[in-house]
Structures are given as structure tokens and as C-alpha cells.
Amino acid sequence: MRLLCRISYWLVALVILALILVSLDYTLDQAILISLAFCPCALALEFLIPKARKPRDKVYLSLAILLSVFVLILSLHNFVWVRITPEGFHTNPKKVAPMLINPVFLALILMVLAIGDYFWARWIGKRFKDADRTVTFFSERKSVTLRHADIAYVESNDTEVRVVATSGEAHRNKTGIGQWENLLGQDFLRIHRSYLVNTALATLSAPDTVTVCGVELPVSRKYKDRVQETLGC
């Protein structure tokens, strides 16, 4: 259901963007192709920018993504569309609409698509919480599958992590805790560079301590405000 909702968002977004482009004197097929050019760039903006640690890196990534969509649009106008003549296929360059070479307009479209998808994903995440979602990983050369709801917390020990189940059983794994954070999604909360906890099982037992399934875990200063906001204390 979540996947269908995400797909529906992009379909609606593409239709709206295509209609805007049709109003700029593009045919429907041309408008759809140009709209599709925005999709990978908007997704890159949504997922890559938050991962950049330094403000300078965020700026560079943003400029690279903006340049990418600009190049894609120019490529479509100059190389993709063709006309058929008795002599064969010939490229049929089309003049670019002024708005599509305006960096402010391009940036606005990318931001609207990325921000809209982000909040839509958060909404459907709350609307369609699924306790039966599972994650499969390798632990000591064996494949392990756990329900998200059965994972209490993830602990990082430099070279490996321990995935601790609600039963108390721990599974060793080489995947970094940052990747686990992305893998498990918004139902899990980073409370420390070494700990990621299941919010459904966690309580803030002290200003700098979270308790999960009877185990007390430290909260670092970096994540303290977010932990207090998320756990409602």
C-alpha cells in the first residue's frame, strides 16, 4: 500500500507538471518526457541533500542537481524528438521555453516535487503503519529475518552492529548503523552515535536516558532535543 501511494504521488505530480508544460506550447508527449526528466533529479535532491554533512556540500550537490536537470532538458530539445521524412529520421530541435532555462523556475519545481514527496511519505508512514514489515540481513553467515516490531534497538560497536530483538536475542551484522537507520525508517530513532531504538518500545526514563525493553541506553547531546520531541517528554 505504501508503494502504491508513493507511485500515485509521482503520477499526479507528473500529470500536473505536464499540464503546465502543455500551456507553454509543448505537445503532450513532449511535456510528459520533460516532466520525467525532473523525477530523478527531485529524488536526488530529496535523498542526497540531507545526507550531506557540511553546508558547502549541500550547496555543491544542489548546483549539480540543478545542472543535471538543465542538461536533460536541453538534450530532449536537441536530440530526442525527431521528424520522419522520405529520407528517414531527422532530429527536430525545438526551441526551449524561457521558463525551462530559468534556474529559479527549475529549482522551484525540484523543491516542490522533493518536499511534497517527503511530507507525503511521512503521512502515509503514519497512516499505514505495518507491524508485519520485515528486514532480512546476514548474521554470522546466516540469513536472519525479523519483523520491525520485533527489533528493540540497534547498537554499533565500531566494526559491527548488534541488532537486539525484543526477546533479548542479539544478531551481529557488519552493516553500519547509519544504513540501518535508513533501512528501518522513521519508526526508529537515533539517540546516540551508537544506538538506534524502536520508538514504539522506547521511553525517556531520564533527560539523558532511554529505556527499551528494560535496557537503559544513553542519549547524546546531539540527539537530545529530537529524542525529547519524539518521545513526548
Domain end, chosen from 127, 145, 169, is at 127
Please give the residue range of the domain that contains residue 99: 2-127
One domain, residues 72 and 148: no
One domain, residues 14 and 121: yes
One domain, residues 12 and 102: yes
pLDDT in tens, 99-141: 888 999 999 999 999 999 988 887 877 666 655 678 899 998 8
Domain end, chosen from 127, 142, 167, is at 127
Bridge partner residues of 154 (DSSP)? 163, 196
pLDDT in tens, 36-92: 999 999 999 888 888 777 888 889 999 999 999 999 998 888 776 654 445 544 455
Domain end, chosen from 77, 96, 127, is at 127
Task: Give the domain CATH number at 184.
Answer: 2.40.50.1020
One domain, residues 16 and 58: yes
- Number of folded domains in the chain? 2
Residue 197 predicted with pLDDT over 90 = yes
